[in-house]
Chain A
Amino acid sequence: MNFDDTPQEAAFRAEAKAWIGANAPKQYEEELRKSSLGRTVLKGANILEVAKAWQKKKADAGWACLHWPKEYGGRGSSPIERVIWQQEEGPFGKLSGMFIIGHGMCGPTMMAFAGEEEKRKYLPPLASGEKVWCQLFSEPAGGSDVAGLRTRAEKTGDDWIINGQKIWTSGAHYSDYGILLTRTDPNVAKHKGLTMFFLDMKSPGVEVRPIKQASGQSDFNEVYFTDVKIPDSQRLGAVNDGWNVSLTTLMNERMSIGAGVSTGFPELFDFCNSLLLDDGPAIEDRNVRSRLANYAVKASGLKYTSMRAISALSKGDRPGPENSIGKLVAGSMVQEVAMYALDLQGAAGALSGPEDAEIAGKFQAMLLRAPGTRVEGGTDEIMRNIIAERVLGLPGDIRVDKDVPFNKIPTKGRA
């Protein structure tokens, strides 16, 4: 048991470190380091432009999408090298936020199902950040139940005509392309009538409307499709096999380890270290210490769980299921941490303006953004189902709609 690099890993780390040291946009390092959930902004700069410039710079030097094959814009690195890169990239990795879906989900799906010509055309600019991709799965009628989606794709000649609505599409407003899951046969059971495509987000008939979130920000969108034409050559996988294609997309997420989820603990620990309560420093208060210790062991537990997965990668093994707990634990923890930080601030905890609030309203922003973390990318409840079924081997839920033709499934609860 050790935390040492192999000689090969150490050489890779040294090379990555040197390149990052010489090329990263250091003027933003401090702001990126301090940014936390609900607040990643750069004063006096457009973060999207900074992010795109950094990604392009990496791509030009061969440091983009490390684990992708070289011919598609990657470096052909091993999974452990990708993790080492992320460790060395540190706060600058926060600039990759806008590319996570494209690089983590859309790219691998294209690699598995697109034709060679399409792969060579679309993947390199995706890797270099010149083109941004989004993922169009969720719908008003299909959130956790993704296969309940209703957006129709109908074949006319060599094209497909798309009508419907997607929701919760991250980054659709700045995306150039998207992968799109549609219903192509409503007369069969819901999982069996889906087909996957990729499309140009600038196609006629695509309308993107930002969603104003409960936090006041707009990271997500509704996307409307009105008679949008997609050529059959942009179909991914067989007609009506879209569910299996989407599983490939989602399974690729399992391998993307190391992009740690925010727990809020380091921020809370720092805050308590400097906070003075009426009767002395907060860090010396028994109750505060007990709460902090409980959060500390969750945060360290997640950190070392991820190290165990990285070790498996380092040995060339597939990581075990342990990492599936990350989002579930961190999501509710960051929410509790934010609430506790406000509690420690007393009545002033309600203030969120950067001038008047404690540490410029960091925990207030965290609090307001936190509910989303427990829903996006699989709700807490879906995550628990996944652990129960795939890790512990418990039976799947009884699905009353499983063998029912999609168009016979009830669509309303209380009539």
Chain B
Amino acid sequence: MNFDFSDEQKQMRDAARKFLAEKCPPKAVREVLDGKATYDKALWKGLAEMGFLGVAIPEEFGGAGAGHLELCVIAEEMGRALAPVPFSSTVYLAAEALLLAGSDAQKQKWLPKIAAGDAIGTLALFEGKGNPSPQAIKLSASGGTLSGVKKPVPDGAIADFAVVAARTGSTGRDADISLFLVDLKAGGVEVRSLTNIDPTHGQAELTFRNCKAEPLGAAGEGWGILTQVLDRAAVLMAFEQVGGSDRALEMGRDYALDRIAFGRPIGSFQAVKHILADMYVSATLARSNCYYGAWALSTNASELPEAAAAARISATQAFQHCSKNNIQVHGGMGFTWEFDCHMYYRRANATAVTLGSLSYWEDQLIDRMRKKNAA
């Protein structure tokens, strides 16, 4: 048994960490946080040059063809650095949807551009509040055009194309949903940026008015594809969340070692030590669940649906837990704009609800465990 990443994969993680430490320090994240840029364009180009954007894209479509375990270790580092780039929307959602359901022509058109950093993609799924469900999709498709409103769409304001979930039937079944591919620069889509709790990662409303679209995958199979895309993205996002959890824990630990109060480092008080120990516990549980998710993702195992839900829940909990308690350990300074703690808190709580919130994934996990039990 080798339930761990390989030495090569660990080297890739080290390379990503080094690269991001240099190109994506907190100062760079703050450029986007403070609204001076919509995303870090130089970093995006750099990630392409490092081969990170196309790491799981096959070579025939311009990627490195390494695989999803490699993508997992990079995702962890992206989360750790709070990289303010449309990585998750483009790589976990759009590219995965193309890989699962795209025609050869569609893959040829978009995947090489993704790998080269020349195209940003996203998934337009939600239509206001609520979790992923076929019933919630109202945006309609007829005669190759789409009409309706999607929000929130992650990185929707900077995306070049979107995978759009649309209603193509009214039987009340999953088969009512089909996916479409929309070139957002071709007109017919109105884009409005939305203020959100994590400004380092934009959200938008996309209004489609008889917008031209091409089918992605077979008609009526949209929901099935979406479910798979969400499972795959859940594992990858969970690695980002684990990266963020670890960094928040380190920040808290370092501050507790440096900060003196009552004549001693605050990290020598049990009240503070125990907060940090509990952060380590939640981050460790999440990491282990994520490793199982990574195994299932990389081998396309039948366990993936259950493993993805467990990784997602555990990593969401850990990132929320670690980021909020990192602020607590920092005391008043943790609640200033100047300290970086709030950037992790913002990211933790934004990523907790994208891809469906905790209660959605809890429900999914139990459903999937029941199915396995019954089988």
Q: Which of A5, A297, A307 contacts B313 (CB 8 A)?
A: A297
B interface footprint on A2-13 (CB within 8 Å = 1, 0 otherwise): 111100010000
Q: Are B277 and A311 in contact (CB under 8 A)?
A: no
How far apart are the CA atoms of A384 and B277 in the complex, in Å? 5
Q: In whole angstroms, what is the CA distance A360 to B309 when docked?
A: 33
Inter-chain contact A384/B273, CB cutoff 8 Å: yes
Binary contact readout B250-261 vs A (1 if CB under 8 angstroms, 0 otherwise): 000100110000
Is B319 part of the binding interface, using a Cβ–Cβ cutoff of 8 Å? Answer: no
CB of A3 within 8 A of CB of B277, answer no
Contact A293 B365 (CB under 8 A): yes
- CB-defined contacts of B285 to chain A, threshold 8 Å: 297-298, 301-302, 305, 325, 329
Contact yes or no, A397 B277, CB < 8 A: no
**Candidates A1, A283, A389; contact of B273 at CB < 8 Å:** A389
Q: Are B3 and A286 in contact (CB under 8 A)?
A: no
Partner of B274, one of A5, A293, A314, A384: A384
Partner of A391, one of B6, B267, B280, B299: B280
**Residues on B with beta carbons closer than 8 Å to the beta carbon of A389:** 273
Chain A neighbourhood of B92, CB < 8 A = none
Whether the pair B2, A315 counts as a contact (CB closer than 8 A) is: yes
Q: Which of B4, B256, B272 contacts A312 (CB 8 A)?
A: B4
Distance in Å: Cβ of A135 to nearest Cβ of chain B: 26
Chain B residues near A302 (CB, 8 Å)?
A: 285, 288
Interface size, chain A (Cβ < 8 Å): 51
* Assembly CA distance A297 to B308 (angstroms): 11
A275 near B: Cβ within 8 Å?
Answer: no
Q: Is the CB of B363 within 8 A of A289?
A: yes
Q: Name the CB-closest residue of B to A307.
A: B3
Across-interface contacts of B362 in A (CB, < 8 A): 289-290, 293-294
From known contacts A292-B366, A325-B281, A394-B256, infer whether A1 and B270 are also in contact, taking CB-CB under 8 Å: no
Residues of A within 8 A of B369 (CB): 269, 296
Contacts of B291 in A (CB 8 A): 1, 304, 308
- Which residue, B1, B272, B276, B294, has most C-beta atoms of chain A within 10 A? B1
Q: For the complex, what is the distance from the CA of A290 to the CA of B367, rounded to whole Å? A: 11
Residue of A312, A315, A395, A397 most packed against chain B (CB within 10 A): A395
Looking at chain B's contact residues, is the secondary structure mostly helix, strand, loop, or mixed? helix
* B131 beta carbon closer than 8 Å to chain A: no
Q: Answer whether residue B61 sits at the interface, using C-beta atoms and an 8 A cutoff.
A: no
Per-residue interface assignment for chain B, residues 183 to 212, with 1 indicating a CB less than 8 Å from any chain A CB and 0 otherwise:
000000000000000000000000000000
B228 within 8 A of A: no
A1 touches B280 (CB 8 A): no
A172 within 8 A of B: no
The number of residue pairs between A and B whose CB atoms lie closer than 8 Å in the complex comes to 158
Taken together as a complex, chains A and B put the C-alpha atoms of A300 and B287 apart, in Å, by 11
CB–CB B5/A1 < 8 A: yes
Whether A392 lies near B280 (C-beta < 8 A) is yes
A310 to B4 CA separation, bound complex (whole angstroms): 10
Contact B5 A305 (CB under 8 A): no
- Min CB gap B313→A, angstroms: 5
Whether B270 lies near A381 (C-beta < 8 A) is yes
Kindly identify which residue among B267, B272, B284 contacts A301, using a CB–CB cutoff of 8 Å.
Answer: B284
Tell which of A289, A312, A387, A392 has the most Cβ of chain B within 10 Å: A392
Interface of A (DSSP majority class): helix
Closest Cβ of chain A to B251, distance in Å, is: 12
Residue B373 is within 8 A (CB to CB) of chain A in the complex: yes
Q: Which residues of A contact B289 (CB under 8 A)?
A: 297, 300-301, 304
Residue A396 lies at the interface, judged by CB distance under 8 Å to chain B? yes
The minimal Cβ–Cβ distance linking B312 to chain A, given in whole angstroms, is 9
B281 surroundings in chain A (CB, below 8 A): 325, 328-329, 387
Whether the Cβ atoms of B363 and A394 lie closer than 8 Å is no
Identify the closest chain B residue to A297 (Cβ). B314
Cβ proximity bits A62-92 to B, threshold 8 Å, 1 near / 0 not: 0000000000000000001000000000000
Closest to A306 in B: B288
B362 to chain A: closest CB distance in Å? 4
- Contact A1 B69, CB 8 Å, known A273-B370, A297-B365: yes
B300 in contact (CB, < 8 A): no
Mind listing 23 A-B residue pairs with CB under 8 Å?
A: A1-B2, A1-B295, A2-B1, A290-B359, A293-B363, A296-B369, A307-B1, A307-B288, A308-B3, A308-B4, A308-B291, A311-B3, A311-B4, A322-B284, A322-B288, A385-B270, A385-B274, A392-B249, A392-B276, A394-B272, A394-B276, A395-B265, A398-B268
Nearest 6 CB-CB pairs, A to B? A301-B285, A293-B362, A388-B273, A304-B288, A384-B277, A395-B268
